[in-house]
Amino acid sequence: MPIVTLTSDFGLQDYYVAILKGAILCESPTAQIIDITHHVPQHDIVQAAFILKNAYASFPAGSLHIVSVNTQYSKDSSFLIAQYEGHYFLVPDNGTMTLLFKVLPEQIFRIVPEDTSEKSLNKLYAKVAKHLQEDQPIAALGVADNSIEQRITLQAVISPSQIRGSVIHIDNYGNAIVNITKALFEKVGAGRNFRLFFRRHDPILKLSEHYHDVPIGEQLCLFNAANYLEIAINMGRAADLLGLKIDDTVQIDFE
C-alpha cells in the first residue's frame, strides 16, 4: 500500500482536498493518504517547501509527496517528478523543486497534464500514485528535463564573529524560526558566548533546551527538532508579542 502525502494551500473549508483524495483513491483504493498541511499561505511555495523538507524524512522510503501550491492553470503548466533519498516528489514547475533540496536530484522528469482543468490535474496526481503503486519507473511518466524553474531563498551571512539570518517561518504556536542551523551556529560560534539581536528588543544571551527553561512569558531561543534556531516565549506567541515577521533580520554576535 503506497503512502501519499499532500501539501497544499487549499485550506479545509472547501471541497478541494476531498476531490483530490477521491481521485487518488479511485485509482489506488489501498493508498494511505497523509495530510502534511493544507494551510500553506496562498501561493507561498517557500513555506510549502520548508514544511515538506522538514517532514518527508519521517515517512517510509517509497512514499510519494505531492505539493499543490501556486499551481498555474494554463497551457504552459507542467509538473516535475523526481526521486530523492528513496522518496518521490511530485511538484509544479514553479521553483518548488529547487527550494526542497540543496542539491537537485540527478534525474528530473517533466509531466504535462492532458489539459489544464482542475479535474485533469487531480487525475494526474492519481495516475502518478497508481504508477508508483505498480512499481513502475518514474521515467515512464514524463521526459527527462533538468532545465526547471529556479527559486533561491536567502541564506544566512557569516563572518568570523557574526551570523546574520532571517525569519523564514512562523509556526502555529507563534514561534519564529530562523534560517540559522545548529551546525552553522556551532561552526561559527565555536563555543563562545553570544548575543542574539532582533527588532530592537533586549538580546537573548543563552540557548535553552526546553521552552520551560525560562519563566512563563519570558523570551528564549533554542534549536528545534529540525535543528533550526527558534525564537519563542514560554507559553506565549513570540511572533505577536515581539513583532516578528517573516524576513525580519536576526543577528548573532559572538564574543
Contact 116, 74 (CB under 8 A): yes
Give pTM, 2 decimals. 0.90
pLDDT score at 74: 64
Greatest Cα-to-Cα distance within the chain, rounded to the nearest angstrom? 61
Domain 3-144 fold: Rossmann fold (3.40.50)
Q: What pLDDT sits at residue 113?
A: 83
Q: What is the pLDDT of residue 112?
A: 87
Instruction: For the domain covering 157-254, report its CATH number.
Output: 2.40.30.90
Q: Check residue 59 and give its pLDDT.
A: 97
**Cα gap 164→57, rounded to integer Å:** 28
Specify the DSSP element, H or E, that contains 252. strand 249-254
Are 217 and 223 a contacting pair, CB within 8 Å? no
> What pLDDT is stored for residue 152 in this prediction?
83
Residue with grid cell 501561493, as numbered in its chain:
43
Q: Which candidate, 252, 240, 231, 228, places its Cα nearest to that of 175? A: 231
Report residues of the chain scoring pLDDT below 50.
none
Handedness of CA 159, 186, 215, 225 (dihedral sign): positive
In the chain, where are the structural domains located?
3-144, 157-254
pLDDT score of 77 = 80
